[in-house]
Amino acid sequence: MKNQLKCLRLFRSFHEANDEVMYTSIQQAQIFDNKVINLSWTSLSPYDIECVTLFLTCSPHKELNLFNCHIQDIGLRIIYRDLMSHNVTIKILNLGSNGFTRSSSSFINDLIIHCRVEELNINGNDTMGEDPALYNMLTHPSSRLVRLYMSYTSLSSPSAITLFTELAKGNKLKELDISNNLITDEACDVTATAMKNNTSLVRLEMWGNEISGEAAQCLVQALNNNNTLEDLWLPLYSEDVEMRIRSLQEQINENRESRGCQAKLNITWW
C-alpha cells in the first residue's frame, strides 16, 4: 500500500513535469496490474488525495480502497471535485471509517451515480446515514449500485424508513448492510412493506440494532411475498423467539418451492 502511494506521488511529479515516458511507465507498473488502488490504513494528506485522483483520471481503475485513511470531509470534497470533472468509472469504492459527517452525504450520492459505482462501503462514518440525500442513489435511473455497506453510520429509524421507502421503489440493490445502527421497531413496518415489493435484494444485514423479537417476526412474515431474499441477518433473541422465526422460515421456503422459486431463505442471528 505504501509502495502504491509512493508511485502515485511520483506519477504526479512526472505528470506535472510533462515527462510522458516516466509517468506512463508508472501507469503500466506491475503494482497496478490488477486495476486496484488500495491505500487502506494509510493516512492521506490533501496532496496525496490529489495524487490519487489525478492517477484515476489518467488511468482507469475498477477499485479504490481508501478505508480508514483519515480523509474526513475536506478530503472527500477533493475526490468529488476531481472525479466529477472527468468521466471516471469505479466499480468498487471503499470509503469506510474516514470521519465523514452528514454534510458529505450528497457528495457521496453524486459520486456513486457519476462514477457508476457498483459497490459502496461507508461503514464507520458516524452520522452519515442520517441524511436523506444519500438515498437518491437507490432509485436514480443512472445509478448502478448493487451493494451498499453502511454499518456504524448512526442510521436511526426515521432515516431507515427513508432508505426502505426508496428501496421499495428501486429494484437494483442486491446487498444491504445496515448492522450496528440505531434502528428500532419504528422502522420495521416500512421495512416489511419494502421487502414485499422488492425483487432484487438477496442479502440484508440488520443485526446489532434494537429490533424486538415481535418486530423481527413481522419482518420475516412479510417475506412470504418475496422470492429473492436469501440471507437475512438478525439480532440475537431468546430460544423461543428464534424457534418461531425458524418456523416462519420453513413456511416461506415451502411456499417458494410451491411457486417454483429456486431461492431459499437463510436466517442468521448475530
**CATH number of the domain enclosing 32:** 3.80.10.10
Per-residue pLDDT at 232 exceeds 90 = yes
The number of CA neighbours under 13 Å toward the Cβ of 245 is 25
pLDDT at residue 197, as a whole number = 85
140-167 residue pLDDT tens: 999 999 999 999 999 999 999 999 999 9
Q: CA-CA distance, 38 to 23, in Å (whole number)?
A: 19
Mean pLDDT of the chain: 94
Q: CA-CA distance, 101 to 86, in Å (whole number)?
A: 25
30-49 residue pLDDT tens: 999 889 999 999 999 999 99
Q: CA-CA distance, 49 to 79, in Å (whole number)?
A: 7
User: CA 248, 254, 259, 262 torsion: positive or negative?
Assistant: positive
Q: Kindly state the percentage of the chain with pLDDT values over 90.
A: 87
| Structural domain total, the chain | 1
Domain containing 216: what range?
Answer: 2-269
Per-residue pLDDT at 170 exceeds 80 = no
Q: CA-CA distance, 230 to 266, in Å (whole number)?
A: 6
Per-residue pLDDT at 1 exceeds 60 = no
Task: Cell numbers for 242, please give them.
Answer: 428464534
pLDDT at residue 171, as a whole number = 79
How distant is the alpha carbon of residue 19 from its chain centre?
38
Per-residue pLDDT at 175 exceeds 70 = yes
Strand partners, 37: 64
What would the mean pLDDT of 84-90 be, rounded to a whole number?
Answer: 93
pLDDT at residue 123, as a whole number = 97
Question: What does DSSP assign to residue 228?
Answer: S
Nearest to 170 by CA among 141, 210, 149, 191: 141
Per-residue pLDDT at 256 exceeds 80 = yes
Nearest to 103 by CA among 74, 124, 62: 74
Task: Cell numbers for 260, please give them.
Answer: 417454483
E-state strands within the chain: 36-38, 63-65, 92-94, 119-121, 147-149, 175-177, 203-205, 231-234, 266-269
What would the mean pLDDT of 131-148 be, rounded to a whole number?
Answer: 92
pLDDT at residue 25, as a whole number = 94
Q: How many CB atoms lie within 10 A of CB 32?
A: 18
196-220 residue pLDDT tens: 888 999 999 999 999 999 999 999 9
What would the mean pLDDT of 58-77 be, rounded to a whole number?
Answer: 95
